Structure 1
């Protein structure tokens, strides 16, 4: 008998990830893979343990369905976990076609890139790799069901379940008789409560706070270091800060009275400002959005992005910039439950355009998340991400490992080289080290190799069909890149109001699922498919026309 899963409301951030996935050219853009070194694991006990964890947590049994203009979560019953879940295994016998490290890297990249069908649970998978006596476990989930905090909780539960399964097998007991209630001391915290709170209307106080905090701010980004690189998407650099730079973080934090993260956020902002991102600039910050003890135990997708703005003056020291980062983090805390994806629709048009729909530079503090894990009685060490997609220009993840600070940067390889990213990291290290040694040093006096900018459209990939730099005299600035009339008609039919070339979709009252309706309409009439991630930075008819090649015909040159 087929059981119809109950349908529950989604958190707003889940809806955003769903529709971005639905129309992105790369379907793995929001895959999250933790690549762990393990030892001595066997597939059968691991499978039993994974089924127990899946039965315990509704997020691992969740799929999504569209219902008109709404998106719902379908939570499949715990009783079907056995039929939903398996563990994949891949072993490579000798002789190897490459060095073990290279082969494991390639396998991890390929397995990470396998897309999920968001309409089918589970949106998580385990793969056990065995290559030349080395063993790795790949845990891949879709971000719409788990964030990094939740994934750490899941893997802690997996270790506990694995120990219970091994004990049952050692005692000659069938592990199929184990249940989550018998294995885990505490029941799980339901995600539904969080999703319901997250979906409530935004309070006027929070909207007023973010409008004021972001007034006049422009998105900061690195300058592309050359022409677009065809065929490149994303890449990852994992870097352990020098001992001097790692030691500088707590030194500055102690002086300023801030967290380590505020110092690192200040250092990133200082380097961007010294590199040319002048004035009041916005940087994206991933916040955990777990405001209570219960939230901190929720297994689900709770995190989202906010944007924090500041202006670095010529004489500012790192202490001054970090101190303002400290204040911004604390002052925004009561309003961090409102993600930037909800705020940007409510900003004045000029501010929304200057910041874009997605911050080009995004920084997140993992802290000890991903550290201290174990599985099968041995440590499970987290390796660099195998991601090959870029969600924005730079996603800067900061972790602590013992006394060291580790920075992992996912970057847009189509516009930035690895050398440029490593130069940026070196500038951050130099800023930290010099500022720790000489607190009165102005950040602009340190000297950086980074080149940065700020403003509308920065950090976005140029369209393959971009306008040439120079146009014939007969094509005026007003006519350049004008959308075709049929495209503007598609907008009017979707939104119910007329649209001009530079109108923002969301400022006209559009919402995320109407984006899908518009894109479906355009594709149905023209056969041209839009990559929504390329369009989100400037969600206007003009940008859509550029990406799809649906411009109005330019007037003929006048004859002499």
Structure 2
């Protein structure tokens, strides 16, 4: 039996542009779309799983990966993909407020990676916190737009209803494959169908400058920068004003909101020539309106708003501009942008700083089978542009969801803009003949992006930077860079896109550097850090060698007893802070921190011992908690001459243990408990159960990390999911190191062994492997050994042990 090969289709120009932005985005979840649906009851998970598989089988876009081969970006459509429904359950959130936890869980799920080259680029997640239920549909924008998501929810609802009733899932129509649309786009480009529209856009936009809301924070404009979502309801007066203006001008609500934005920006300082990015659905036929895929386009609307223009005149102008835009919306914006003069591209910027879209009734009257669903605010943590506003209709009014760059704007600034829009809509509708110059606004705007400011460089950094830029490869990069951006970089770490670079110029830069037989530049890898330094590295230029950092950390200096501690399994220096605070103030305390390349207890022991020796230190006491005690034991075993005394805090003896193949869920629960305890949180609360995906009963590690991050943030102790994932990886590495560690002993050195969960037999095994041993059992669990109140008993025992050993020595 032969397996069908995936179909390869050329990506559309808009998909190409979005793919490039994804590669260089600081936060690559910026082009994730998550519809967060609140439902009033638990859904039938097996029925939902059947329904989800049915819609994935039905639509190419849900089985599509986007891959680059040379200079070509292609859509790879799998003939079939097995999918499932993911699941997060928090039965008892404890003192955490469920609403906050649900929001944070949605943000974490939204942020989970969707890599364009790996299908499916969509996932469905069920979330339960106590008795509250949500459904999260997350897709990558490169394969679906908002219109398509609405269609998808409708079909998922039909399929769920059928599956729940025990009927075969079927649909009344056969969908148009997205590949048909993509191939039509390629033909239209090749056959010149867009030429007239390109000419229209060049005539319209040449000389334009993007209108920018003046930032009040120093963040750099960049797609994927930190962002958040704010939802705002226009006042009843604004809704009434829109109705009056619509009747007077025959304009759509979208054109009226666009006109209000033009008035506010013009009055805010952008001047009479106002240019705003407008996102269109680009679905002009009945067939395209039923297409599940990515057809949306970006257009720039340019308008002239003079002080003596009336509100009616501005709305009429916006209406006419919108009609012209709709006539020419089919040509993808990247094609338009590439055709514009260089000076105009620079003035417009990439991406457009202010975006506006109109969603109409999208998101209304949603359901899954018979279960009503309410669309909640988007859980984005990144921004596509400075400001991206999406307006939509609600019962009797209008709302706007605004995504903004939190590194450039405070919430008060964004609210000020919304209040200005509200006032213009309300007052302009009440008095359509009012002139633009009579409006007072609080917002501040300008035309065109700000000029990037060079960062100061230290003398030593300047010398190193100069050497890099003056190297043969450095000079080649600077020459190509200057040709494309109009000037040399400020230094080797200047960001290409912060000084006018864009996706087109990135490809041109690579082409220039590959001339005359030089090796090819991996543009995708470079986009993660688009600097001169990284280009020189790819070209084979020499860089300064990176020194391996020491694992030794001094926590406290002192002339008294020297105690050296080693990290526990998945632990950090933070674990010992309460113990150190209870030790005599003249004690010197040092710690060995983890090093990710070390995978066994002996390799850790050798590295940590070498770093101690390199510093000329010979501790009096050597020990640690959990795995740290095992490493300390091995360090003592490998030391010649006089060995330090050992302090072993609930560390298992080195006899080797079996690690169950199916124990990852239990190990993660232990890890999560350790993290919570290290942050001083109550045990066992906000514990999440995760699973699903293609294996309904499987444990989803990535989702478990995301749920842990959400729970910690809800409890007031935020730790990023990325940091937790690294720590979980380290914990697993440490556990494997500990269970495989065997040492027969004996190591002839005195030791204090404190047990919490150690059995008497384990204490006996330590006694066989050490010299003079003091054992002490305390009535707490493993995690509480270093926490109050037990830590006071531990500290007292360590101090007494050190006193006796000093007397004996």
Tell whether the structures are fold-level matches, with TM greater than 0.5: yes
1:60 match:
62
Matched, 1:148 2:168: no
Deviation, 1:2, is: 4.3
Matched, 1:375 2:375: no
Q: Secondary structure at the match of 2:212?
A: strand
Closer, same or farther: CA 529–509 of 1 in aligned 2, 3 Å: closer
Closer, same or farther: CA 382–508 of 1 in aligned 2, 3 Å: closer
Matched, 1:236 2:223: no
Q: Secondary structure at the match of 2:215?
A: coil
User: 2-side partners of 1:122 and 1:509: how far apart?
Assistant: 25
Deviation, 1:300, is: 0.2
1:12 match:
13
1:67-92 deviation line (CA, Å, top 9, x unaligned): 22101111111xx33x2x11011110
1:127-148 deviation line (CA, Å, top 9, x unaligned): 1111121111110000011000
Closer, same or farther: CA 235–125 of 1 in aligned 2, 3 Å: same
1:190 to 145, 164, 177: 177
Q: Secondary structure at the match of 2:269?
A: coil
User: 2-side partners of 1:412 and 1:546: how far apart?
Assistant: 27
Q: Does the 8 A contact of 1:238 with 1:409 survive in 2?
A: yes
2:346 match:
353
1:235-289 deviation line (CA, Å, top 9, x unaligned): 1100111111122112111111111110000001110111001132210000111
2:311 to 318, 321, 331: 318
Q: Does the 8 A contact of 2:485 with 2:501 survive in 1?
A: no
Q: Does the 8 A contact of 1:523 with 1:529 survive in 2?
A: no
1:106 to 86, 99, 104: 104
Matched, 1:35 2:36: yes
User: 1-side partners of 2:87 and 2:355: how far apart?
Assistant: 34
Q: Does the 8 A contact of 1:5 with 1:74 survive in 2?
A: yes
1:19-58 deviation line (CA, Å, top 9, x unaligned): 2212323111110101011133121111110001111111
Deviation, 1:524, is: 7.5
Deviation, 1:530, is: 4.6
User: 1-side partners of 2:156 and 2:502: how far apart?
Assistant: 46
Deviation, 1:346, is: 0.7
- The 5-angstrom pairing of residues 496-535 of structure 1 reads 499=484, 501-502=486-487, 510=504, 530=527
User: 2-side partners of 1:432 and 1:547: how far apart?
Assistant: 49
2:613 match:
none
Deviation, 1:232, is: 7.2
1:442 match:
435
1:50 match:
52
Q: Does the 8 A contact of 2:510 with 2:521 survive in 1?
A: no
- The 5-angstrom pairing of residues 1-400 of structure 1 reads 2-40=3-41, 41-77=43-79, 80-81=80-81, 83=82, 85-168=83-166, 178=168, 183-199=170-186, 200-201=188-189, 203-228=194-219, 233-400=226-393
Deviation, 1:193, is: 2.2
Deviation, 1:157, is: 0.1
**Bigger mean CA offset, 235-244 vs 1-10:** 1-10
Deviation, 1:97, is: 4.6
Closer, same or farther: CA 516–266 of 1 in aligned 2, 3 Å: farther
Closer, same or farther: CA 487–257 of 1 in aligned 2, 3 Å: farther
Deviation, 1:98, is: 1.1
Greater Rg over alpha carbons, structure = 2
Aligned residues: 510
1:334-385 deviation line (CA, Å, top 9, x unaligned): 2111122211111112211111122100000111112121113122111001
Gaps of 5+ in 1: 169-174, 469-481, 536-543, 551-560
Gaps of 5+ in 2: 457-468, 489-495, 538-809
Closer, same or farther: CA 528–549 of 1 in aligned 2, 3 Å: farther
